[in-house]
Amino acid sequence: MLLRHTKKEIKPRKALTVNPAKTCQPIGAMYAALGIHNCLPHSHGSQGCCAYHRSTLTRHYREPVMAATSSFTEGSSVFGGQANLIQAIDNIFTTYDPDIIAVHTTCLSETIGDDVNQIKDKALKDGKVPEGKTVIHASTPSYVGSHVTGFSNMTKAMAMQFAQATGTSNGRFNIIPGYVEPSDMTEIKRITGMMGINPIVFPDTSNVLNGPQTGKYKMFPPGGVSKEALISTADSMGTIALGETASADAARALDARWKVPCQVQDLPIGLSATDRFIDALRIAAGVPVPDSITLERGQLLDVITDMHQYLYHKKVALAGDPDHLIPLVEFLLDIDMLPVHIVTGTPGKAFERKIAAMTAHLPCKVNVRAAGDLFLLHQWIKNDPVDLLIANTYGKYMARDEDIPFVRYGFPILDRVGHSYFSSVCYTGGIRLLEKILDVLLDRMDRDAPEEEFELVM
pLDDT tens digits, one per residue of 371-402: 999 999 999 999 999 999 999 999 999 999 99
Question: What is the full DSSP assignment across 193-216?
Answer: HHTT---EESS--TTTSS----SS
**What is the Cα–Cα distance from 44 to 127, expressed in whole angstroms?**
20
405 in helix, strand or coil? coil
pLDDT in tens, 57-84: 999 999 999 999 999 988 788 778 899 9
- Cβ neighbors of 226 (< 8 A, separation 6 or more) are 37
3-class secondary structure, 113: coil
Does 226 or 5 have the greater pLDDT score? 226
% of the chain at pLDDT higher than 70: 99
Smallest CA-to-CA distance from 99 within 52, 162, 154 is with 162
Q: Residue 438's CB: how many other CB atoms inside 10 A?
A: 17
List Cβ neighbours of 183 (8 Å cut-off, separation of 6 or more). Answer: 206, 210, 419, 420, 421, 422, 423, 424
Q: So what's the pLDDT on residue 74? A: 83
Strand partners, 39: 100
Encoded amino acid at 301, one letter: L
Question: Would the pLDDT of 350 be above 70?
Answer: yes
125-140 pLDDT, tens per residue? Answer: 999 999 999 999 999 9
pTM: 0.96
Dump the DSSP string for 152-181: HHHHHHHHHHH----SS--S-EEEE--S--
Burial zone of 253 (CB within 10 Å; 0-12 exposed, 13-18 middle, 19+ buried): buried
2 band by pLDDT with thresholds 50, 70 and 90: low
Q: Are 372 and 344 in contact (CB under 8 A)?
A: yes
Complete DSSP assignment for 302-329:
HHHHHHHHHHTT-EEEEES-HHHHHHHH
pLDDT at 97 over 70: yes
pLDDT tens by residue, 209-256: 999 999 999 999 999 999 999 999 999 999 999 999 999 999 999 999
Question: Rounded CA gap, 191 and 292, in Å?
Answer: 10
Q: Measured between alpha carbons, how far is 113 from 78 in angstroms, rounded to an integer?
A: 10
Beta bridge partners of 101: 40, 135
Domains and CATH numbers, the chain: 25-161 (3.40.50.1980), 173-291 (3.40.50.1980), 295-451 (3.40.50.1980)
Per-residue confidence band for 1, with pLDDT thresholds at 50, 70 and 90: very low
